Structures are given as C-alpha cells and as structure tokens.
C-alpha cells in the first residue's frame, strides 16, 4: 500500500541476531502482550512516550517550565513523577532538555522512507545473505504499514523477515506472510493459564497462528539460516524462538510440553533458545515502571543444553541464540 505510515521506535542497522546475515531491524511500536521479562518495555505501548534518564538529568527544571500541562514538578523529582496518562507526547519537554535526559520513543514513519533506508545497505545484505527484519512490539498490529514495508523491501530485492509473538488476528498476520521470506515466531509457554499470568494474554490464538504458519512454511525450513535468498516468493520459512527464563518457563513440565507441541508441528526449520538477560532493567525505570524479574539470573549453558536435548529428542533442529550447541557462548 503506497504511502502507508506506522509508529516505529527504532531502526537498527548491522543487526546480526534477527535472521540470516547482516540486517536492518525495524522495531514497530505496540504489543498486545506484557511479558514480565520483556527487555523492550518501550515497545509495548502503541503511543509515543517519554523516557527519562535520572543519571543524565542535571535538575535544571527546564522540562517543567516547557510542559503546557504542568505535568512535571521540575528537577530530578519531576520527570520520574510524570503523569503518563495525562501526557500528550507533545515533545516540548524533550526539546527543552539540553542535557539529553528525556527521549521521545515512537515516531511516525512512512513505508517508502524505510525502504529507501534499506537500499543504503544493499551491498551489505548481498554479501552476507542479510536483509530487513520487522520486529517490535508486534508488527502484525500495524498490518498495513508492515505489509507495505515488506512488499517494498521485496520489490527492491531485499530478503524479508518477520518477528512475531503471534498474538494477532490471523487475517492481519497472514497479510504479512505473503511478503515474508522468514518468520521468527516467539513461543513463550505451553500452558494457557501460565501464559496469561506471565504475559497478560492466553496463548490459544498464538498457537493456532503458529500451526497455520507451520502448515504453510517452506519445506526447506531447516535451511532457514544463512543464504536465504531474497524475493523467492515461496512460502516463508519458520524459526520458532523460545525465551528461556529460569523458574519462569524452564520447568521440566513446560519444556516437555513445548517439545510435544513444537515436535508435532508440520514444519519447523529450527528452534532457537534465547537465554534470558536483564539488559532492559534501566528502561523500566526510565518509563516509571516496575521491573518484576530483577532477581532472576540468566540460564546456565548446561541448562540450555539440557533443554535443547529434550527438544532434539522430538526431532527438532535446535540452536542457542542462533549458534550451534557446541559453539562458544
């Protein structure tokens, strides 16, 4: 759709963890899940929002003077107490902050602008087997914009990947798949009740969508890594990504259930285990939000290998963060 616009909160060049080769990852804002371990809390709201860094703030009070709604008390105590429900994301406080302590997260972008930016890295993609990945947030919640970017990228000869948590209507998700070479589908928990407790939503729609994507996935799915060509226009290949969070979703019962679930899908090119980390903690503070998993450690390599073995026993091809099991972490 020419001229489609969407809300984006980041565009990262030279990404190497979001599909094959060297990629540009476009992060769309807005998600229907609230995963407790999310390391991109700024991705969740579908509206622009202000992030505040107390470590950078010099307490000058310029933000308070600039806000037409009087939402900031000023100084170090101001932005931290920002009434976010009343904030209209006008950006005046951000513009007034010469210290760089305030950042507006979320900007409107047009699909053709994004595609034009991709063209700058054409040679890099060609040399590495890379391309563009849409991530989020949940790209399927902005289906017109996401489809326009994917369609445009393909028309320009770029390999396209879509990272999704799958919690969107099938019509929105399937509209993206026809322009997608590779789907990175996140699966977080096998139990609907646990999924609800951990993410704020049950998983029935997610699993139904996963089965549909798997049923249509390209037969060459096992080779969904390096060398996936652009513009093949066949069905997308499927990689399932499972975040591994100690004592949250790594219990033997859940891993066994995931093994049965994923092993029973028609086609899965690979399962990638994504070890939990708490790199996003500071972002929660910057958004005035509580982080609930601050005491949770990253899983050990041995634990990840144990989980991989259970999945491999079901015939699944498994990697850890995209690398082979015996590669150095």
Which residues are at the interface with ligand SF4 (CB under 6 A)? 50, 57-63, 66-67, 69, 71-72, 75, 78-79, 82, 87-93, 96-97, 99, 101-102
Of the candidates 44, 29, 41, 87, the residue with the CA atom closest to the CA atom of residue 63: 87
State in angstroms the smallest separation of the CB of 90 from ligand SF4.
4
Q: How far is the CB of 47 from ligand SF4 (least distance, A)?
A: 11
Identify the CA nearest to 10 among candidates 56, 52, 50, 43: 43
Nearer to ligand SF4, 61 or 246 (CB): 61
Q: How far is the CB of 106 from ligand SF4 (least distance, A)?
A: 11
Whether cis (ω within 30° of 0) applies to the bond prior to 137 is: yes
Q: Is 176 exposed, middle or buried (0-12, 13-18, 19+ CB in 10 A)?
A: buried
- Smaller CB separation from ligand SF4, 263 or 288: 288
CB nearer to ligand SF4: give 35 or 101.
101
Tokens 């929105």 belong to 172
Cβ nearer to ligand SF4, comparing 105 with 228: 105
Compute the distance between CA of residue 191 and CA of residue 278 in angstroms, rounded to an integer.
Answer: 24
CB of 94 to ligand SF4, least distance (A): 7
Q: 218 with 236: CB under 8 angstroms?
A: yes
| CB of residue 68 to ligand SF4, shortest distance in Å | 6
Nearer to ligand SF4, 61 or 306 (CB): 61
Question: Least distance in Å: CB of 107 to ligand SF4?
Answer: 13
Taking the alpha carbons of 115, 121, 125, 126 in that order, is the dihedral positive or negative? positive
Q: Find the shortest distance in angstroms from Cβ 157 to ligand SF4.
A: 40
CA dist., res. 103 & res. 28, Å (int): 17
CA distance 241 to 17: 12
Query: Measured from the CB atom, is 91 or 306 closer to ligand SF4?
Result: 91
Q: Which is nearer to ligand SF4, 66 or 303 (CB)?
A: 66
Tell me the C-alpha distance between 9 and 59, whole Å: 26
Minimum distance between the CB of residue 42 and ligand SF4, rounded to whole angstroms? 14
- CB-based burial, 113-148: b 16+ in 10 Å, e otherwise: ebbeebeebeebbeebbbbbbbbbbbbbbbbebbbb
Q: Reduced to 3 states, what is the DSSP secondary structure of residue 25?
A: strand
CB distance 134 to 31 below 8 Å: no
The answer to whether the CB of 57 falls within 8 A of the CB of 94 is no
By beta-carbon proximity to ligand SF4, the closer residue of 51 and 217 is 51
């Amino acid at each position: 759709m020419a001229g489609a616009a969407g809300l984006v909160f980041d565009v990262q060049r030279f990404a190497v963890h979001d599909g094959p080769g060297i990629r540009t990852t476009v992060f769309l804002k807005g998600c229907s899940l609230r995963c407790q371990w999310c390391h991109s809390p700024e991705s969740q709201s579908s509206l622009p929002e202000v992030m505040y860094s107390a470590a950078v703030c010099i307490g000058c009070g310029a933000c308070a003077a600039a806000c037409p709604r009087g939402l900031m008390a000023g100084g170090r105590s101001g932005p931290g107490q920002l009434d976010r429900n009343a904030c209209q994301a006008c950006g005046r406080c951000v513009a007034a902050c010469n210290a760089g302590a305030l950042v507006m997260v979320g900007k409107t972008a047009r699909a053709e602008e994004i595609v034009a930016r991709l063209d700058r890295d054409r040679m890099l993609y060609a040399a590495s087997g890379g391309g563009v990945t849409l991530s989020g947030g949940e790209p399927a919640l902005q289906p017109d914009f996401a489809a326009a970017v994917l369609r445009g990228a393909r028309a320009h000869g770029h390999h396209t990947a879509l990272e999704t948590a799958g919690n969107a209507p099938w019509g929105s998700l399937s509209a993206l798949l026809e322009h997608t070479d590779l789907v990175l589908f996140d699966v977080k928990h096998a139990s609907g009740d646990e999924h609800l407790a951990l993410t704020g939503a049950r998983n029935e729609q997610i699993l139904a969508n996963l089965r549909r994507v798997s049923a249509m996935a390209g037969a060459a799915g096992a080779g969904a890594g390096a060398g996936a060509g652009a513009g093949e226009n066949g069905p997308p290949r499927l990689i399932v990504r499972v975040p591994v969070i100690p004592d949250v979703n790594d219990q033997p019962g859940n891993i066994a259930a995931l093994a049965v679930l994923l092993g029973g899908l028609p086609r899965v090119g690979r399962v990638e285990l994504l070890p939990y980390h708490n790199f996003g903690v500071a972002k929660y503070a910057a958004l005035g939000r509580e982080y609930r998993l601050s005491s949770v450690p990253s899983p050990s390599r041995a634990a990840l290998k144990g989980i991989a073995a259970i999945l491999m026993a079901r015939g699944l091809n498994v990697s850890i963060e995209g690398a082979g099991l015996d590669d150095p972490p």
